Amino acid sequence: MTNNTSLLFSPLRIRGVELPNRIAMSPMSMYSCKDGLATEWHIVHLGSRAIGGAGLIMAECTAISPDGRIGPGDLGLWSDAHVEALKPVTAFISEQGSVPAIQISHAGRKGGRYIPWISRAPIPEAEWGHLIAPSALAFEEGWQVPRAVSEDEITQLIKLFASAAERAVEAGFRVVEIHAAHGYLLHQFLSPISNKRSDGYGGSLEARARFPREVVRAVRASIPQNIPVFVRLSMRDWLDGGISPEDAVRTAALLAKDGVDLIDCSSGAIAPGESINLSPGYHAAYSSLVRAGADLKTGVVGLITEAEQAEAILQDGAADLIIIGRKLLREPYWPRRAADALREQNANVIPVQYARSVSVPGKLTQW
């Protein structure tokens, strides 16, 4: 074990998995698959961030079924072919000393969109098929009105989440994250903006949380006990009548009872018209609330760009894990620069193949 002076470069153990540092790559959709299959792009894209030194590498939002994709380029885990395509990705990440993770999801009423750099318009129902949601409410004007799922269909969706988690472990992933944020299906059930049901899956917060909780319990039961389960949770909807931070903390406390190990704190995207108060590290305050109110480990994402900022969040006790998104797209080797900024000489984020680029006999130079 290294003699680290920073929290950012200290190990984090969760169940049977130890992260070498507290830097995680956020799951970010690449829209670069065909039929949900990983490609060489994913090896290079995810592998370069592992070479860059991030302790946890989270693969993008991955669909549990073909109709659960955000769009046609999404990664999938609904067949054994997807497992085989992902094995080289996880093997390479692991070889670099990072921990491979994956986020599983169903897009619900936000499914069927074209690849963003081509178009953001929804794909017509005739081409994509009918969308599902807790209630028959379109995401926004001009989008397909989804069909409200039946309780029998909910039971089948729970099984699909569990099967995807099993395949994730078979593919070599050592952390499974369930996506219950950003306006996708599980978030749609949690939010009173999108969930108008009058059965046992709608109404009170506890009823709206029932489906996500059933998913968590099924996933937890389907994978080895040493594999951590994360949940990405929207901490607020930024709209009147939506989820409040207090609601999110109560939901996190319920999920803790079901076997969740860490809440990945994010927010927003349930519907158009949000007024988000953006500022550097703006989810850290919500992460702190979850740590205190739900007695859970947390990760925080959102406009975290500097090493000192990340270290301060950890030192303040606001989070256990720093999750970096766009900054890692711009700078795959950001963890190394962060180690330099924190004067962390034992960070172990430089592979042996690159060591001669940063040191000469008797002298250590910055990356």
3-state secondary structure of 59: strand
With a cut of 50, say whether residue 131 has pLDDT above it: yes
Q: Say which residues have a Cβ less than 8 Å from residue 110's Cβ, sequence separation at least 6.
A: 70, 139, 183, 184
With a cut of 80, say whether residue 366 has pLDDT above it: no
CA distance 161 to 163: 5
Q: Which ranges in the chain belong to alpha helices (H)?
A: 40-51, 80-95, 125-128, 151-171, 185-190, 205-208, 210-222, 245-257, 284-294, 307-315, 326-330, 334-341
With a cut of 60, say whether residue 69 has pLDDT above it: yes
**Count of C-beta atoms within a 10 Å radius of residue 37:** 15
Q: Which domain holds residue 343?
A: 12-364
Tell me the residue type at 27: P
With a cut of 50, say whether residue 364 has pLDDT above it: no
Confidence at residue 1, expressed as pLDDT on a 0 to 100 scale: 39
Confidence at residue 355, expressed as pLDDT on a 0 to 100 scale: 80
Give percent of the chain above pLDDT 90: 89
Please check whether residue 203 lies inside any domain of the structure. Answer: yes
Confidence at residue 341, expressed as pLDDT on a 0 to 100 scale: 95
CA-based nearest residue to 24, from 361, 264, 309: 264
Handedness of CA 340, 342, 348, 349 (dihedral sign): negative
| Average pLDDT for 328-336 | 96
With a cut of 50, say whether residue 281 has pLDDT above it: yes
3-state secondary structure of 355: helix
**Count of C-beta atoms within a 10 Å radius of residue 123:** 17
| Average pLDDT for 120-140 | 94
Evaluate whether 335 touches 50 at the Cβ level (below 8 Å): no
Per-residue pLDDT tens over the stretch 216-265:
999 999 999 999 999 999 999 999 999 999 999 999 999 999 999 999 99
Per-residue pLDDT tens over the stretch 38-63:
999 999 999 999 999 999 999 999 99
3-state secondary structure of 11: coil
Please check whether residue 4 lies inside any domain of the structure. Answer: no
pLDDT category, 360, cuts 50, 70, 90? low
Q: Beta partners for 58?
A: 101
The answer to whether 184 is a known catalytic residue is yes
CA distance 187 to 73: 22
pLDDT category, 356, cuts 50, 70, 90? confident
Please check whether residue 338 lies inside any domain of the structure. Answer: yes
pLDDT category, 359, cuts 50, 70, 90? low
With a cut of 80, say whether residue 365 has pLDDT above it: no
What domain count does the chain have?
1
Confidence at residue 354, expressed as pLDDT on a 0 to 100 scale: 87
CA distance 207 to 200: 6
Phi then psi for residue 180, to 5 deg, are -125, 40
| Average pLDDT for 186-205 | 98
The pTM (predicted TM-score) of the whole model is 0.96
Confidence at residue 34, expressed as pLDDT on a 0 to 100 scale: 94
With a cut of 50, say whether residue 2 has pLDDT above it: no
* Residues constituting the chain: 367
Average pLDDT score over the chain: 94
CA distance 27 to 76: 14
Please check whether residue 5 lies inside any domain of the structure. Answer: no
Helix axes 151-171, 80-95, angle to 10 degrees: 40
Per-residue pLDDT tens over the stretch 309-318:
999 999 999 9
CA distance 128 to 239: 29
User: What is the 3-state composition of the chain as percent helix, strand, coil, each rounded to the nearest 5?
Assistant: 35, 15, 45
Confidence at residue 362, expressed as pLDDT on a 0 to 100 scale: 45
> What is the secondary structure of 146-182 as a DSSP string?
PEEPPHHHHHHHHHHHHHHHHHHHHHT-SEEEEEE-T
Please check whether residue 33 lies inside any domain of the structure. Answer: yes
CA distance 289 to 298: 10
Confidence at residue 352, expressed as pLDDT on a 0 to 100 scale: 84
Give percent of the chain above pLDDT 70: 96
Please check whether residue 1 lies inside any domain of the structure. Answer: no
CA-based nearest residue to 333, from 352, 310, 311, 350: 350
CA-based nearest residue to 121, from 101, 142, 94, 137: 142
With a cut of 70, say whether residue 177 has pLDDT above it: yes
pLDDT category, 3, cuts 50, 70, 90? low
CATH number of the domain enclosing 285:
3.20.20.70
Q: pLDDT: is 1 or 204 the higher one?
A: 204
With a cut of 70, say whether residue 4 has pLDDT above it: no
Per-residue pLDDT tens over the stretch 141-168:
999 999 999 999 999 999 999 999 999 9
Tell me the residue type at 139: F
Of residues 31, 184, 201, 333, which has the active-site annotation? Answer: 184
Confidence at residue 136, expressed as pLDDT on a 0 to 100 scale: 98
Please check whether residue 151 lies inside any domain of the structure. Answer: yes
